[in-house]
Amino acid sequence: MKSPLATGWRRVLPGLGLIVLSALPASAQTAPSPQTVTTTTDGAKVSTALTPVKIGVKMTPAVQVRVNLLNTQGGGGPIVRRPNRDDALAYLAAAAQGQNPKVVAHALKGMARSWSLKGEAGARVNKDFIKVVRARLQSGPKRVRVAAFEPARLLLAQRPVHKGVLTDVMASLKASNSTIRFFAVRSLFNVGDFQIPKARKGALKGKIIQAVLPLLDDPKASVVAATADVLARVGFDAMPHRKKIIGKAKALVNHEKAKVRGTALHLWSVLAKKKARGPLVDALRRALADGHGYVRGTAAEVLANLGKLAVIHDLVTLLDDAGKTTLKLKKGQKYGPRLVLGTRSGKQVRVVAMQGIATLTKGKRASLPLTHPGALKGPKLNKALQRARVFYEAEKKRLPRLTPLATATVEKTGSATPAKQ
């Protein structure tokens, strides 16, 4: 049983710490940091200045205490889970006036969680918020510029979208650093009229697509995969610039990196019109033998979604494939959240294939039960797989026949790189 005295000290100590921090002089609270830092980009070293941003926040004692704490933690502290207005203002002040890039980046992430468009969190987005976000998007160390995309998403999600922030993000698509380009294209998914996979009024959707198209030829595979992934999530068969995107996707299915091959297959599938899916189906069937489980799983899932009953003959060959269908698109969490690609049907190729067979036979005379992937573990998974094999043996003669695959060819469009042999 916990001592009442010990419990009381746990409640008092944090408050005492804040009082001590507020009593310290500014020079003791903030670790000295150079005003100019050096950041390595893709091919060169550039010197970037962390310029203070003038804001109209009144530094009350409560806000100052929180700013001092952020500086003392050096950008390594936790983000306040239940922010109030003082926390929100402290994050804003630290992001605007901080000298340590780690502290400024941490404060920007805090802004994303403590400010909102409607004001139900710590504070409502205002001119100071916008001013800080735009300044940090445009210049500074890589860590800071990448962190600025998190609060920028609030402004991208506005209706209508904040034009100034959208301009800054689209300019970041041409940044010399690949990490900045990567997070810039990912953040554009927050634009409401862009993310909806159907035609929208106005030219905004086409404008954004036109801006991100060059990134399908980016020298960094992660940037290419991120771009293909975003375009696939917003795509439909009458999408602006559809022919150009399909041309790129066809070439990228032969890329040397699995993350690009898999996202390219998905992108091609959402743009292909129903009457012109022959080449796509052939490419997907070839991808079932790919060297990476993410690509095999993606191909199996897309084939099932296309609704061609005959592909069950191909899917059944994957029922012994225990390969993982997940793939890290960006390793680590130094600059942003770890991003993982994967299928919706399961984390193993055999599960995706089995779920695909169940999807294709749903509503038919004889059908395979569709099970939630989370329930397919251990003995239950083995039993389900055996049931799928028995089902196929009983029904394969009634299934439509598959046409033989044509000889694979490597299509080249733009500067996409074909797979290494």
> What pLDDT score was predicted for residue 410?
42
> What pLDDT score was predicted for residue 49?
72
> What pLDDT score was predicted for residue 309?
92
- For 292-328, letters b (16+ CB in 10 Å) and e give bbbbbbbbbbbbbbbebeebbebbbebbebebebebe
- Is residue 44 a part of any domain in this protein? no
- Is residue 375 a part of any domain in this protein? no
CB 230 within 8 A of CB 270: no
- Is residue 142 a part of any domain in this protein? yes
Q: Among 39, 114, 38, 105, which Cα is nearest to 74's? A: 105
Q: Look at residue 324 and give its three-state secondary structure.
A: strand
User: Distance between alpha carbon 6 and the CA centroid of its chain, in Å?
Assistant: 44
DSSP symbols for 68-101: HHHHHHTT-SPPPSS--HHHHHHHHHHHHH--SH
Whole-Å CA distances, 128 to 43, 62, 111, 287: 35, 19, 11, 50
In terms of residue numbers, what domain contains 119? 57-168
- Is residue 185 a part of any domain in this protein? no
> What pLDDT score was predicted for residue 296?
97
Interatomic CA distance for residues 232 and 226, integer angstroms: 10
> What pLDDT score was predicted for residue 285?
95
**Which residues sit opposite 123 in a β-bridge?**
115
- Is residue 201 a part of any domain in this protein? no
- Is residue 308 a part of any domain in this protein? no
DSSP symbols for 360-409: HHTTSSS-PPP--GGG--HHHHHHHHHHHHHHHHHHGGGSPPPPPPPPP-
How many domains in the chain? 1
Residue type, 406: A
- Is residue 69 a part of any domain in this protein? yes
> What pLDDT score was predicted for residue 10?
40
Residues of the chain with confidence (pLDDT) below 70: 1-48, 121, 331-333, 406-421
> What pLDDT score was predicted for residue 48?
62
> What pLDDT score was predicted for residue 178?
93
**Non-local CB neighbours of 141 within 8 Å, separated by 6+ positions:** 37, 39, 48, 50, 101
Tens of pLDDT along 139-170? Answer: 999 999 999 999 999 999 998 999 999 999 99
Whole-Å CA distances, 314 to 31, 354, 356, 396: 62, 11, 11, 11
Q: Among 197, 332, 352, 178, which Cα is nearest to 262's? A: 352
Tens of pLDDT along 249-282? Answer: 999 999 999 999 999 999 999 999 888 889 999 9
- Is residue 135 a part of any domain in this protein? yes
Q: Among 336, 47, 342, 341, which Cα is nearest to 179's? A: 336
Tens of pLDDT along 411-420? Answer: 433 334 333 3
pLDDT above 70 covers a percentage of the chain that reads 83
Q: How many residues does the chain have?
A: 421
